[in-house]
Amino acid sequence: LIALADEGKPVVFLESLPRDVPGFKDYNQRRDELKSLLKNKERMVVDWEGLLDRLDSSGARREPMVDSGLDFIRRTHEGGFHYFVANMGEQPVDGWIALGTPLESAVIMDPRSGETGMATLNEDNEIYLQLLPGETRILRTFQNKAGDGPSWPLLENVKEDPLTLEGKWNVTFIEGDPKLPDPFETSELESWTESGGEESKRFAGTARYSLTFTLPETKADDWTIDLGEVRESARVSLNGNPAANLWSVPFCANVGEFLKPGKNLLEVEVTNLSANRIRDLDVRGDEWKIFYDANIVDHNYRPFDASRWEIVPSGLLGPVRLIPMNSITP
């Protein structure tokens, strides 16, 4: 920091300069070194109230996207900047977003699905972003025009109610331990630990939920499937075609290309956590902590015991909806 200050770089300490050194190794020697360094403390600025003003005057770039409730990580690349953008708030973001760095073009990437597309920019070089709560995007900006490519799709809800998928769900356990529970049917989505019998309460693995439904004749450019609550990850197939892998909120994906008029088959393979399996092992007193030099303790440093855990909800809890979407040009 002192080297930066010697080069004329602004160094601002919040509230106070360091008062002491950490730890006790060579304590007196390091304390004397700190006192010597602080003799030229006029090169440092201690401030709090005027921090933002000092940052502005120093030329530090502010990122306006935080005003929309977005969090970000920014890194440079040869032709511009990379942004990892996350909507950690409770409200969707849908609109023009200004960046704190210069750009002439940008690519939007979805880190979960791998989809990419050219960003839509306005005359102020703001990017149009749509992010549901929990969604993330990677932006790759360029200070020069990038090559042409497909545009990132911008969609809005058709002014009609979503289709809630209801009916007889067939639930089949396809992989896991310690034993596959019996299949069952249900008209109400809830944790399989509630509907699947005693064996399902200790099961860790994957179950397939199947439902046949009729697609309405609503005119739409695309359809978004919203699985509602999922415990914990899901693979979605429509009419035998893999449509999406969803492992974080929101459990949504655009699936219009896999739908057809009339009858459609939806299959959702849901994998739960291993918590119920671990709980059951300790309830039964099975010796499972048998790897080398095991010293498994809880947060109070007592022997780890999962038998007191509550049973964790598992499976597709829904509600599952299909939402008609139309393309927009902002």
Digit-coded pLDDT (tens) for 228-268: 999 999 999 999 999 999 999 999 999 999 999 999 999 99
Distances from the Cα of 316 to the Cα of 227, 274, 277, angstroms: 8, 16, 18
CATH of 64-152, one of 3.40.50.720, 2.40.50.100, 2.60.40.1180, 2.60.40.1190: 2.60.40.1180
Return the HEC string of 263-306: EEEEEEEEECCCHHHHHHHHHHCCCCCCCCCCCCECCCCCECCH
Residues contacting residue 285 through CB under 8 Å, at least 6 positions apart: none
Q: What is the pLDDT of residues 142-181, one digit of tens each?
A: 998 877 889 999 999 998 889 999 999 999 999 999 999 9
* CA–CA dist 207, 252 (Å, integer): 19
Q: Are 147 and 155 a contacting pair, CB within 8 Å?
A: no
Residues contacting residue 156 through CB under 8 Å, at least 6 positions apart: 94, 325, 326, 328
Residues contacting residue 192 through CB under 8 Å, at least 6 positions apart: 171, 181, 200, 203, 207, 272, 314, 315
- For the cut 90, the answer to whether the pLDDT of residue 303 exceeds it is no
Q: What is the pLDDT of residues 53-86, one digit of tens each?
A: 767 777 777 899 999 999 999 999 999 999 999 9
* CA–CA dist 318, 330 (Å, integer): 32
Tell me, which fold does domain 163-273+312-327 have in CATH?
Jelly Rolls (2.60.120)
CA angle in degrees (0–180, nearest 5) for 274-279-281: 100
- For the cut 90, the answer to whether the pLDDT of residue 124 exceeds it is yes
* CA–CA dist 61, 52 (Å, integer): 11
Specify the domain boundaries for CATH 2.60.120.260 within the chain: 163-273+312-327
Q: Is the dihedral of CA 9, 14, 16, 20 positive or negative?
A: negative
* CA–CA dist 87, 46 (Å, integer): 33
* CA–CA dist 193, 134 (Å, integer): 27
Residues contacting residue 258 through CB under 8 Å, at least 6 positions apart: 238, 239, 241, 243
H/E element, 317: strand 315-318
Q: What is the pLDDT of residues 1-45, one digit of tens each?
A: 878 877 877 777 777 788 899 999 999 999 999 888 887 666 666
Please report, rounded to a whole number, the percentage of residues in the chain having pLDDT higher than 70. 95
Q: Are 173 and 195 a contacting pair, CB within 8 Å?
A: no
Nearest to 180 by CA among 147, 208, 161, 213: 208
* Mean pLDDT of the region 270-281: 98
> In the numeric block, which tokens belong to residue 265?
């088959």
